Structure 1
Amino acid sequence: MNAPLRRVAISVLVLFTLLIVNVNYIQVVRSDELRNDPSNTRVLAEEYDRERGSIVVDGTEVALSVPTDGRLTYLRQYPQGPVYAPVTGYYSLVYGNTQLERAENEILAGSDPRLTFRRLADLFTGRDPAGGDVVVTLDPAVQETAMAELEGVTGAVAALDPSTGAVLGLASTPSFDPNQLSSHDPQAIRDYAAELEASEHDPRLNRAIGDNYPPGSVFKVIVAAAALANGYTPDSVIPAPDTLTLPGTSTTLENFGGSSCSSTGEQTLIDALTISCNTAFAQLGIDLGEDRVREMAEAFGMDGEGRQIPLPVAPSSMGDPENDAQLGVSSIGQQDVRMTPLQAAMIAAAVANDGTLMNPYLVDQLRAPDLSVLDQTDPEELSEPVSPEVAEQLTEMMTSVVANGSGRAARIPGVEVAGKTGTAQVAEGVPDHNWFIGFAPADDPQIAVAVFVANGGGTGGDTSAPIAREVMRAYLEGQGG
């Protein structure tokens, strides 16, 4: 063989070798990644020939597959579309899947290893293959009330059972209609997606878990907890000046609206939380020191790490203040402090549960097509940020916020409510964010809630607290409370 032929033969051999290696890499190494890629419409098209399992809330299917006469055997439907869209997400020929449709795709699609014997039986019996069901922890009254109360604003509600961590509500507005993204008409799907894309605030984002925001005075519950855990009591007298010059700077910090917290320049810790005194808590955070405040924030879940419920939850953190001046601003929930509404609900839930924070979870059961239970979520303790004694003191202080202070709009007749308001500055000329966290009944907590209204422009007390009141009332009435 002459030299040119030898070079050609070697080149061909190298190319075939690379081709074989690439094919094996794609089919073996990347097979799972490509199969689960939401843009892989071939896999989705194959799945449309199998009845996809349902997402179930309190016995009602909020996502289900129905047979069609078209090329694709099944159509995904969402009977209450926008109400549960922040949780269900969508299942689309064009855009893949999101939220629970993605997080629990293997069960819903019937490809989960726990359904292997079912699939083998289907082959032998000729039975049509089907996916399993996902039963979630949401309470219909909580979810539906939250979505109704949030109508017209950009915001979110997260609600938890304090004793278990079960997610009772996960609402986000604006919302969208997943039916229009899950049709069998690709062009109609793209047109609706373009409409959503053009929205000022993306309706597909679940703001209860998908992003974090400055919490404002909601963070004062963390600082109060750190103080109580380090020798303070609700009656401890702390400085509460009209203005506070931040250490090492000429910058002065004022109270909301330039108000005065106390004619004497000092007040009790419980009074400072009741009226949400900025100067008092900024100085208190500085006096406690960053280590104590950070330790408490992380114990409540603000550790800068994301979590899965199984939906992915954005991290919450107090940031990294570089000096006492920044620590003072952080102590009133500004600077670089960021929190998801779910994290805010976790703070209220831990106080409500005698100081024990339960791991939040959204899925109660995974069921096979024959309704047998494949998996059941057991409540799990996440941490114990404060002792029962400190939790009791915090409850006393948060009850005072609703009874006598900035949270009056959260009052429920005949029910004692504990809570904390928050108003967070965003940027110059941009309306403030509004928050409320709380739980009820204060003496026997059954629900903990956080309400976030983006750029509401008012205060947490007049914007978010009334929403929290209606959500808590709806749940308690449903429980016979």
Structure 2
Amino acid sequence: MNAPIRRLSGVVALLFAILLVSSTWIQYVQAKELQGRPDNRRTLLATYARERGQILVDGTPVALSKPSNDELKWLRTYPQGPRYAHVTGYYSFTYGPGGGLESAENSLLSGQSDKLFYRRVSDMLTGRKAAGASLELTINPKAQAAAEKALGNQRGAVVAIDPKTGAILAMVSHPDYDPADLTSHDSKKVAAAWKKLNADPTRPMVNRAIGGNLYPPGSTFKIVTAAAALASGKYTEESQIPGPAVLDLPQTSADLPNSAGEGACGPNNKTTLKHALEISCNTAFGWLGMQLGGDALRSQAAKFGVGDTLSIPMRVTPSSVPAQLDKPQLAQSAIGQYDVRVTPLQVAMISSAVANRGIVMKPYLVKSVLSSDLDTIEEATPSQLSQAVSADDASALTRMMEAVVQSGTGQAAQIAGVSVAGKTGTAQHGKGQAPHAWFTGFAPADDPQVAVAVVVEDGGSVGNEAYGGRVAAPIAKAVMEAVVQK
């Protein structure tokens, strides 16, 4: 054999070897990854051959599959439309599962999870028609409806938690969308809806409760600063601290003032820690932040869960407190400004920890996994995430937050016959832009059943005139009432 033929034979042999390796790699090594891709139409067709599991709220389906007279056999429907859009997400033949539980728990809903292996074997042996598992959620339908109605057409988010378990009772993000627009079997209509939703500058498909562009928390973060002060052992709720009309910040010509039109927070420019929280005194908490230092502030925030990567089971974007803060930045961070960024879920967790004697419970959204005939396969077990503050400090913070609602900036959250603890926030986030309005709190203060966080972007319907107590507190009140008033 001459040299050119030997070289050609070598090239052909190499090509066959590459083909063998690549096909083996695709069929065995990458098989599971490729099968699980949301845009794998073969997998989608296979899953459409069986009934997808339901998503249930208090036993009522908010997502279910109905028989259809086409090759896909099943049509995914959402009976309550946008109300649960950011909880359920969508299940689209064109775009796959996305957005919420449809994506996060796709393997269970589709019936492909390893947790359902024995169920699949049983179905095969008995001839029973295969179907996906159903999910029973922790959502309280009254709280969800109240949150949706109270937030209205304003942009923002509402989250409510059972502080004793971490169960999520409400999760609403506005603007919202109708998942059914993406689940039609008319591919042209689905593509048009997808294009419209993704072109919308208000980003209706983003779940603002747990992700997106995170928010500065404003004065709701003063709960964390107050907790760090109490934990230091140097301060009590009755400690006298400076509260001038304007706080002179070192290393800069800028100053930190109280809210517009407000003077000193007490006689002789002094106030107690409790009164400072009650009236949301910026200068007192700015001074306190500089005294405590960045390490203490970050450490206390971390104990509340700031920085943790959580799964509820959707991924929650971690909240953050910046590192390497100088004195002016510390003062701003202590009042929830500068580069402090949070999700509404994180703010609800902070109030929840205060309500639960200092213990942060891990938030979760799925109460139980059910078989197609609604037998329980798996049930959630509440678990502790951290101890944010001592029980004594939690009691002190509760008294301070009660004062906010009884006689301070949060009076619009009062519920007749029910003690409410809370904190307002008004967060500046850009020059010339209206502030975000915040409220967080819990009720009843003496036996907490619900902790809530509300953010309304850009002042909502009142724009530059917005304050957390005016805009966000009434929304929180509506949600808390829905839970505590049976």
Shorter-normalised TM-score: what interval?
A: over 0.9
Structure 2 residue 302 is matched with structure 1 residue 298: yes
- Please state whether the residue corresponding to 1:364 is helix, strand or coil: strand
Q: Which deviations, in whole Å up to 9, do the C-alpha atoms of 1:449-469 show, x marking residues without a partner?
A: 000111123111111000000
Counterpart code for 2:414: R
In 2, Cα distance between equivalents of 1:258 and 1:18: 75
Match of 2:7 in 1: 7
Match of 1:143 in 2: 144
Q: Which deviations, in whole Å up to 9, do the C-alpha atoms of 1:47-89 show, x marking residues without a partner?
A: 1111001011100011111111111111101100100011000
Counterpart code for 1:53: G
Match of 2:205 in 1: 204
In 2, Cα distance between equivalents of 1:286 and 1:258: 24
Match of 1:213 in 2: 215
In 2, Cα distance between equivalents of 1:415 and 1:265: 34
Structure 2 residue 271 is matched with structure 1 residue 267: yes
Structure 2 residue 475 is matched with structure 1 residue 467: yes
Match of 1:110 in 2: 111
Structure 2 residue 380 is matched with structure 1 residue 372: no
In 1, Cα distance between equivalents of 2:239 and 2:318: 33
Match of 1:91 in 2: 91
Counterpart code for 1:111: Q
Structure 2 residue 399 is matched with structure 1 residue 396: yes
In 2, Cα distance between equivalents of 1:121 and 1:237: 69
In 1, Cα distance between equivalents of 2:259 and 2:26: 59
- Please state whether the residue corresponding to 1:121 is helix, strand or coil: helix
Q: Which deviations, in whole Å up to 9, do the C-alpha atoms of 1:172-214 show, x marking residues without a partner?
A: 0111000110111111101111121222211111110013210
- List gaps (5 residues or longer) in structure 1: none
User: Is the contact between residue 419 and residue 436 of structure 1 (CA under 8 Å) also seen in structure 2?
Assistant: yes
In 1, Cα distance between equivalents of 2:482 and 2:394: 25
User: Is the contact between residue 294 and residue 323 of structure 2 (CA under 8 Å) also seen in structure 1?
Assistant: no
Match of 1:227 in 2: 229
Match of 1:432 in 2: 435
Q: Which deviations, in whole Å up to 9, do the C-alpha atoms of 1:420-471 show, x marking residues without a partner?
A: 0111111101111111000001111100000011112311111100000001
Post-superposition offset of 1:117: 2.6
- Please state whether the residue corresponding to 2:350 is helix, strand or coil: helix
Q: Which deviations, in whole Å up to 9, do the C-alpha atoms of 1:113-150 show, x marking residues without a partner?
A: 22223223333443321111111100001111111111
Q: Which deviations, in whole Å up to 9, do the C-alpha atoms of 1:360-401 show, x marking residues without a partner?
A: 111111112232222111111111111111111100000000
In the comparison of the two structures, how many residue pairs are matched?
A: 477
User: Is the contact between residue 349 and residue 439 of structure 1 (CA under 8 Å) also seen in structure 2?
Assistant: yes
Post-superposition offset of 1:263: 4.1
Q: 1:11-50 alignment to 2 at 5 Å? A: 11-50=11-50
Q: Which deviations, in whole Å up to 9, do the C-alpha atoms of 1:34-56 show, x marking residues without a partner?
A: 22222222211221111001011
User: Is the contact between residue 321 and residue 330 of structure 1 (CA under 8 Å) also seen in structure 2?
Assistant: no
TM-score by length of 2: 0.96
- Please state whether the residue corresponding to 2:268 is helix, strand or coil: coil
Post-superposition offset of 1:229: 1.5
Range moving further from structure 2, 253-262 or 82-91: 253-262
Question: Percent of counterpart pairs with the same letter?
Answer: 51
In 2, Cα distance between equivalents of 1:277 and 1:450: 20
Match of 1:248 in 2: 251
Range moving further from structure 2, 47-56 or 226-235: 226-235
Post-superposition offset of 1:258: 4.5
Structure 2 residue 287 is matched with structure 1 residue 286: no
In 2, Cα distance between equivalents of 1:91 and 1:408: 42
Range moving further from structure 2, 159-168 or 243-252: 243-252
Range moving further from structure 2, 390-399 or 372-381: 372-381
In 2, Cα distance between equivalents of 1:321 and 1:407: 33
Q: Which deviations, in whole Å up to 9, do the C-alpha atoms of 1:226-269 show, x marking residues without a partner?
A: 11122211111100111112122121111111521234211011
In 1, Cα distance between equivalents of 2:42 and 2:145: 35
Range moving further from structure 2, 127-136 or 397-406: 127-136
- List gaps (5 residues or longer) in structure 2: none
Match of 1:312 in 2: 315
Match of 2:54 in 1: 54
Structure 2 residue 159 is matched with structure 1 residue 158: yes
TM-score by length of 1: 0.97
In 2, Cα distance between equivalents of 1:258 and 1:321: 32
Match of 2:425 in 1: 422
Counterpart code for 2:296: R
In 2, Cα distance between equivalents of 1:201 and 1:351: 33
- Please state whether the residue corresponding to 1:52 is helix, strand or coil: coil
Match of 1:175 in 2: 176
In 1, Cα distance between equivalents of 2:17 and 2:292: 66
- Runs ≥4 in structure 1, deviation > 4 angstroms? none
User: Is the contact between residue 108 and residue 132 of structure 1 (CA under 8 Å) also seen in structure 2?
Assistant: yes
In 2, Cα distance between equivalents of 1:227 and 1:19: 66
User: Is the contact between residue 294 and residue 325 of structure 2 (CA under 8 Å) also seen in structure 1?
Assistant: no
- Please state whether the residue corresponding to 1:238 is helix, strand or coil: strand
In 1, Cα distance between equivalents of 2:13 and 2:218: 66
User: Is the contact between residue 163 and residue 352 of structure 2 (CA under 8 Å) also seen in structure 1?
Assistant: yes
Match of 2:196 in 1: 195
Counterpart code for 2:262: S
Match of 2:81 in 1: 81
In 1, Cα distance between equivalents of 2:324 and 2:330: 5
In 2, Cα distance between equivalents of 1:460 and 1:467: 10
Range moving further from structure 2, 73-82 or 16-25: 16-25
